[in-house]
Amino acid sequence: MSAKIHSQIPLEPERYELAAEPPYRFDLGRRDFFKFLGAGVLVVSVLKPAILAQESGGARRRGDSLPKEVNAWLHLAENGKVTVYTGKAEMGQNIRTSLSQAVAEELHVPIENIEMVMGDTQLTPFDMGTFGSRTTPTMNLQLRKVAAAARETLIGLAAAQWQTDRQHLIAADGKVTDPRNKRSVEYAALTKGQLLSQTVSEETPLIPATNWKVAGQTAPKVDGRDFVTGRHRYPSDQKLPDMLYGKVLRPPAFGATLVSVDTQKAEQAGVSVVHDGNFVGVAAASSELAAAALAVIHAEWKSEPQPSSKELFDYLRKNTVEGKDPTGDGDRYDVGAVDQALSAADHRLQQTYTVSYIAHVPLEPRAALAKWDGDNLTVWTGTQRPFGVRGQLAEAFRIPEERVRVLMPDTGSGYGGKHTGETAIEAARLARAAKHPVKVVWTREEEFTWAYFRPAGVIDVTSGVRGDGTITAWEFHNYNSGSAGIRTYYEIPNQRIVFHETNSPLRQGSYRALAATANHFAREAHMDELAHAVKMDSLEFRLKNLKDERLRAVFEAAAKQSGWGQNKTAGQGFGMGGGYEKLGNIATFAEVHVDQKSGDVKVVRVVSAFECGAIVNPDGLRNQIEGSNVQGLGGALFEAIEFDNGKILNGRMSEYRVPRFSDLPVLETVLLDRKDIPSVGAGECPMIGLAPAIANAIFDATGVRLRSLPMVPDGLKIS
């Protein structure tokens, strides 16, 4: 049953990630590899069509030619050193470690012997980008295959050297051993002088999760020491000799066009000034000088009147673009006869839920260092899509992609907010004019204003339920916030589910679990209201309408851990939320305390039960789940972007509240390790149950239903 339901719900890519431009093919010839890698053994993995469809997400959209070649490779040097090349990017989700574990497991070498080269468009194979919780289900599996193929190749080399049957040989601890003849040979001795290239075959045996020794165990962050000593260089820490600091003149409102500009005073200050179309920027010897020069530029802008956050939800309803959806996929799901089922239902319920725009607030703002060498451009930047940014740079400067190299030093987080290459383009434009390398680091205010936001949305839910608690009808309309996670996993015979694309008043894009957060909030909060309508316990009501075994398992595990059904004291409340997203299953139980006088809401305890197949790194996984809950508190309780007439009104850390130490609940995590199911990602799914769990707990404590995220930006008003 479980497998059936999981396959019924399509893996819905985030539509706002599809706003990315077409992918580009990696085209480095295989024979060129050894030129820069040196001699040894090379194993490459070739993408299969099934993986391609998942990885790209947008195969149907524009008839793109997708990368058909290699997506990872592993090089075993003559000295035994293992280097793995992948286009994935590290920004705190800890894949540098978990992918190393996968390689160490299959190749039988210590993690310390493995170097991961990541997110460098010159050295690593093409990759669409690091988003959508795809690294673990796709790249982890690919690297296991690559490492297993390398292991089999080494066994083959040893067998040839000893002229013996490979079946009698085993690989372990960086050696191939022949136990019968008590001899062994180091990998390095086998790779010496080789120029051997191998393609991964589907037949290469992988070590089953039940036999994992390195994967499946907690591994510390591979380069953790560099982070606690300040030695790691993030994109904003990059430096080159003769480097200048760049700043860009920002318009007073979104969409404003430049009417006139006077840069004379700035030029007299001895800085490099660029005016090119709507772009005005400066480059100077220090960021302070650059800011001072920017301040003396006089510019006039023209802008159009724009909506404000006060009228946001009305605006979204009125500005749908039905029938114009460019993706043309999965916008509407109909089954049964919803209208008749609603009329026949014992109880009907109609409610509207809303979510606000929120900002990613990555602690490291966008940053890029650009350097021209003749017509060749190199950019170090913090992005989840190094290859996408390469494409943007090539397009902006009208140069072939071969002349652009983008490198992604492990960056100060992204959460879906670093898919685009604004700073890269700005730094490169300034560097070309200044004839020096230029670094651009956005201020926090720029990051709040000129990046993009998690989409706001309005969701209307109408449902019908029989007196015995069987849900018979479900109508669900989502305006703007996205269609990921829009389908229900509850067994309902009559459904109408529609996503309405809308002209967003603000620039919007990907965000950790973006649409799934909104859709689960509406669905799981509504489930609680329905349970209340039929006077059933929330857990019992869910389980009555839920067949999916994996989802039932997490709800039951979290209920057990949290002690669901406990007695409560004044101001105390308990609630749950959960669901299925990006192939993972989560149930979240929250306990809140609402101060009866002040209305302050404190989330006291959060219990999460999560299942994502075979666990690769248990502590890394717990860290992701805890982090999802803490970050999720912000969007659930108090984060919202306020705007008016093309301006952001709260675009500073002092005006936009993010979760802090004092918001921290007790976090308890139950991991369900399903070694029989392939590993999937965990960066997003654990977040989706939190907001409805808190909403339902607040109702339990106070009898007040909150249907808008954030729920209590100014505390709860208890009438």
Residue ranges binding other proteins (CB under 8 A): 91-94, 220-221, 224-225, 227-234, 236-237, 239, 245, 286-288, 361-365, 410-413, 415, 441, 443-444, 619-620, 623-624, 626-631, 652-654, 658-662, 664, 667
Instruction: Kindly list the distances between the CA atom of residue 674 and the CA atoms of 208, 468, 476, 618, in Å, as whole numbers in the listed order.
Output: 12, 34, 32, 12
- Complex with other proteins: residue 68 or 239, whichever CB lies closer: 239
- Complex with other proteins: residue 338 or 558, whichever CB lies closer: 558
Distance of CA 392 to the CA centre of its chain: 20
Q: How far is the CB of 717 from other proteins (least distance, A)?
A: 25
Burial 532-558 (b: 16+ CB within 10 A, else e): bbbebebbebbbbbbebebbbbbbebb
Residue 607: strand pairing partners: 589, 668
DSSP state of 137: I
DSSP state of 163: T
Residue 111 and residue 258: Cα distance in Å, rounded? 54
Tally Cβ neighbours within 10 Å of residue 527: 25
Q: How far is the CB of 445 from other proteins (least distance, A)?
A: 8
- Complex with other proteins: residue 29 or 661, whichever CB lies closer: 661
- Complex with other proteins: residue 575 or 686, whichever CB lies closer: 686
The beta strand positions in 179-278, using DSSP E, are: 183-186, 195-199, 244-248, 257-262, 272-276
- Complex with other proteins: residue 234 or 452, whichever CB lies closer: 234
Backbone φ, ψ for residue 556 (5° rounding): -70, -40
Q: How far is the CB of 91 from other proteins (least distance, A)?
A: 6
- Complex with other proteins: residue 86 or 236, whichever CB lies closer: 236
Q: How far is the CB of 658 from other proteins (least distance, A)?
A: 6
- Complex with other proteins: residue 515 or 633, whichever CB lies closer: 633
Inter-residue contact 636 to 517 (CB < 8 Å): no
Inter-residue contact 306 to 646 (CB < 8 Å): yes
- Complex with other proteins: residue 424 or 633, whichever CB lies closer: 633
Which helix H or strand E contains 188, and what residues bound it? helix 187-191
- Complex with other proteins: residue 33 or 131, whichever CB lies closer: 131
| Tokens representing residue 297 in the block | 């530029």
Q: At what angle do helices 690-702 and 618-633 cross, to 10 degrees?
A: 50
Q: How far is the CB of 237 from other proteins (least distance, A)?
A: 4
- Complex with other proteins: residue 84 or 359, whichever CB lies closer: 359
Instruction: Indicate the burial class of 406 (C-beta count within 10 angstroms; 0-12, 13-18, 19 or more).
Output: buried
Residue 131 and residue 89: Cα distance in Å, rounded? 9
Alpha helices in 514-663 (DSSP H): 514-533, 538-544, 549-562, 618-633
Instruction: Indicate the burial class of 485 (C-beta count within 10 angstroms; 0-12, 13-18, 19 or more).
Output: buried
- Complex with other proteins: residue 297 or 361, whichever CB lies closer: 361
Q: At what angle do helices 514-533 and 690-702 cross, to 10 degrees?
A: 30
| Tokens representing residue 524 in the block | 């799981």
Q: How far is the CB of 219 from other proteins (least distance, A)?
A: 10
Q: How far is the CB of 220 from other proteins (least distance, A)?
A: 7
Q: How far is the CB of 427 from other proteins (least distance, A)?
A: 16
Residue (of 669, 659, 714) closest to 689 by Cα position: 669
Q: How far is the CB of 195 from other proteins (least distance, A)?
A: 38
Q: How far is the CB of 361 from other proteins (least distance, A)?
A: 6
Q: How far is the CB of 381 from other proteins (least distance, A)?
A: 15
Residue 598 and residue 600: Cα distance in Å, rounded? 5
Tally Cβ neighbours within 10 Å of residue 365: 22
- Complex with other proteins: residue 111 or 337, whichever CB lies closer: 111
Q: How far is the CB of 398 from other proteins (least distance, A)?
A: 32
